[in-house]
Structure 1
């Protein structure tokens, strides 16, 4: 069985992605509080989520040229610096146009960070990259559990949400100082290993991405749609169908993130033993089972249990899809990472609006039946992706390539 080696560069990548997770999962609880401050409607406040999608598109366009110009690791630090500056401004500014603009900036910088971490871990770990990416996203989800708790404590103490959100600036500075203190720079070249149990030859001329990449690209958009719809609309279903109080329903959304955290920790080890596509199909089946329990439950505790199972399944959707996408991209990994942000941006920008539009007509509980449709679509795409991948071949003698 291949082994995942946790060197300093790997731990640093985990920490960097965790910093993004603190902002991303803390952002959801902040939007309603910001709406109250600004005196806007829910629809207008929701433009901040649209800002995240716009920033993801911008970051996706910028990553490949930035990585070519500065290198992958400096691009990650550039992204973190942008997140720190943006969160600092977000914690100070109050007018709606200013907060919308700052959210776009944060999302752009965050996409540079996420794309860079994905490529660095894929290049560094090759056949075991799915395990590394699962663990990195576990760190992201773990910080995502802490962020809402910090915001809640800050609000209850009468300080508002801003000091808690600003914590991420201090954490970014702390990680940067730790990287300097431990001299985590990385070698100029690193061992380039084969993709996760797939052998792919990508023509260097024109840097064309293969058909398997674009299947994985659509798959990321579909599974991203599942995650963002759950993040934005689950509390409404818990209130309207499971009879939970508004505060308890909002807090219960953390059950999904808890499930994702546990699923990604365990999934990192499971990914060392099983091929990515069958594992992805299993994860989608777990998601469907968890959704079924959540959707039919009329008792709050049972609905929350379904959400935990749903999070366990969702945990591996993105890590496996992005690892396959970057694996089949070959020497066009930077370009592939940039384009992957477009997929997530499209999913995040369209799916919540579509579900909200349906919910206006039939209610949030019935509207949530769109999610099994997303899961079924993801299953079909995963099967098609498995057929499009080249047959596995033994890993050849490693060569050297830049990280």
Structure 2
């Protein structure tokens, strides 16, 4: 079974993703409050999610070139600085176009954080990357529990949501000071005249850590413990060691376990991502739609169907994030033992059960219980999907991470606006019946992904198989 060693760099990246989680899960309960302030409809208020989508697209396009120029570490810190500036602007402006623009700026820089953390952890932990990514997202969910509670308390106290959201700026400052105090450094850019076979810019190992040889670097994450069939793209055996070298913008270098064709496969994968990656990409867009719809409109359902006050409903959104936090803590252990596709299908089943309880609940406490169960299922959607996507991308991880942020843009840009438009006609409670459709679509995609990852001729496993170290 793969092992996960948490060093200072790992804990720092966990904290950095947590800072993004504080904003993301805190902003959801803010949207209905902004709608009340600005006097708009639910569909118009949902345009804030479109702003997040536009920012995600921009951040995805910027990540790979910035990572090449600055290194992944500096790119992550640039993203956090931009998030702090955007949150400050959001607290100062009032008009709808200005708040949407501020949210788009925050999302642009936030995607640099998400992409950077995902790639750093994948490169750092090899076969333990799915567990590391799950734990990192658990920290993000943990920070997200705090945000709705602070916003609800601030609203109930008569201060509004802005003082609670401003806490984000203070948290970013604290993490930066802690990194300086304890001298924790993310990977730095390589010298301009890097030798062939050296790690790519921004991926020099931390002090005291030996750089992997080109033929024996970190292994492909155990995200699939599978081989991508030839029809779906270049074969990426899970046992092959991956090193990464960048020359003239191309990403190369593959472990010797792949045999004589390794270099050619690595070169091809730098230009073209396999079909399994794109299935995972669509899956992330669908599961992202589930998460963002819940984040933005759950408070509205709790107000209209369960009879909660505005402040209490905003705080109750933390129940989803609480479930996600617990699910990701436990899921990190499962990710080390079981293949991700069966685990993902099980998580989608838990999500469906939690949604059913939430939707039929006529009282607040029962609805909140359903939200906790829903969060337990949602916990593993993104970490498992992104770990599969980066695993099958192989040496093209930076580019794959950038493209992955586009899937978030699609999910965030379309689903909440569609749900808001339906909610304006039939009410938020009935409109939420779109979510079981998203869950069903995600299950179909996960099953298709399992077939794409299975080598040709291999029968489907009847029980989840444990991964190999």
Pairwise same-fold verdict (TM > 0.5): yes
> Larger Rg: 1 or 2?
2
1:285 matched residue in structure 2: 349
Deviation at 1:61, TM superposition (A): 0.9
Once residues 298 and 156 of structure 1 are traced to their aligned partners in structure 2, the CA distance between those partners, rounded to angstroms, is: 23
Q: Is the 8 A contact 1:260 1:315 kept in 2?
A: yes
Which residue among 446, 453, 456 is the counterpart of 1:382? 446
Q: Is the 8 A contact 1:194 1:395 kept in 2?
A: no
Deviation at 1:34, TM superposition (A): 3.7
Q: 1:3 to 1:81 in 2, by over 3 A?
A: same
Q: 1:270 to 1:11 in 2, by over 3 A?
A: same
Q: Does 1:328 align with 2:392?
A: yes
Q: Does 1:254 align with 2:282?
A: no
2:247 matched residue in structure 1: none
TM-score, normalization: structure 2? Answer: 0.79
Q: Which runs of 4+ in 1 moved over 6 A?
A: 392-396
1:74 matched residue in structure 2: 74
SS at match of 1:272: helix
Deviation at 1:165, TM superposition (A): 1.8
Aligned residues: 396
1:401 matched residue in structure 2: none
Once residues 438 and 178 of structure 2 are traced to their aligned partners in structure 1, the CA distance between those partners, rounded to angstroms, is: 41
Deviation at 1:157, TM superposition (A): 4.2
1:400 matched residue in structure 2: none
Once residues 382 and 181 of structure 2 are traced to their aligned partners in structure 1, the CA distance between those partners, rounded to angstroms, is: 32
Cα RMSD over matched residues?
A: 2.3
Q: 1:11 to 1:51 in 2, by over 3 A?
A: same
1:265 matched residue in structure 2: 329
Task: Report 1:324-363 matches (<5 A).
Answer: 324-363=388-427
Q: Is the 8 A contact 2:131 2:333 kept in 1?
A: yes
Which residue among 204, 213, 216 is the counterpart of 2:267? 204
What's the CA shift string for 1:329-376, capped at 9, x where partnerless?
001111111111111111111111222333344433333222111111
Once residues 43 and 23 of structure 1 are traced to their aligned partners in structure 2, the CA distance between those partners, rounded to angstroms, is: 21
Task: Report 1:308-319 matches (<5 A).
Answer: 308-319=372-383
Q: 1:338 to 1:102 in 2, by over 3 A?
A: same
Q: Does 1:3 align with 2:31?
A: no
Q: Which runs of 5+ in 1 are unaligned?
A: 397-403
Which residue among 200, 204, 221 is the counterpart of 1:195? 221
Q: Is the 8 A contact 2:118 2:401 kept in 1?
A: yes
Q: Is the 8 A contact 1:75 1:112 kept in 2?
A: yes
2:50 matched residue in structure 1: 50
Q: 1:372 to 1:47 in 2, by over 3 A?
A: closer
Q: Is the 8 A contact 2:34 2:45 kept in 1?
A: yes
Q: Is the 8 A contact 1:198 1:327 kept in 2?
A: no
Q: Is the 8 A contact 1:124 1:193 kept in 2?
A: no
Once residues 174 and 282 of structure 1 are traced to their aligned partners in structure 2, the CA distance between those partners, rounded to angstroms, is: 38
Once residues 17 and 128 of structure 1 are traced to their aligned partners in structure 2, the CA distance between those partners, rounded to angstroms, is: 18
Q: Does 1:83 align with 2:146?
A: no
Q: Which runs of 5+ in 2 are unaligned?
A: 188-203, 206-210, 213-217, 228-234, 237-264, 456-464
What's the CA shift string for 1:17-36, capped at 9, x where partnerless?
01111111121233344445
Once residues 89 and 68 of structure 2 are traced to their aligned partners in structure 1, the CA distance between those partners, rounded to angstroms, is: 29
1:300 matched residue in structure 2: 364
What's the CA shift string for 1:299-345, capped at 9, x where partnerless?
33222211111110000000000010011000111111111111111
Q: Is the 8 A contact 2:151 2:315 kept in 1?
A: no
TM-score, normalization: structure 1? Answer: 0.91
Once residues 153 and 304 of structure 2 are traced to their aligned partners in structure 1, the CA distance between those partners, rounded to angstroms, is: 26
Q: Does 1:235 align with 2:235?
A: no
What's the CA shift string for 1:34-60, capped at 9, x where partnerless?
445445554443322221111011101
Q: Is the 8 A contact 2:53 2:107 kept in 1?
A: yes
Once residues 360 and 175 of structure 1 are traced to their aligned partners in structure 2, the CA distance between those partners, rounded to angstroms, is: 41
1:399 matched residue in structure 2: none
Q: Does 1:114 align with 2:114?
A: yes
Once residues 390 and 49 of structure 1 are traced to their aligned partners in structure 2, the CA distance between those partners, rounded to angstroms, is: 36
What's the CA shift string for 1:63-112, capped at 9, x where partnerless?
11111221111111111111112122222333433332222111100001
Higher helix share: 1
Q: Is the 8 A contact 2:46 2:416 kept in 1?
A: no
Q: 1:260 to 1:330 in 2, by over 3 A?
A: same
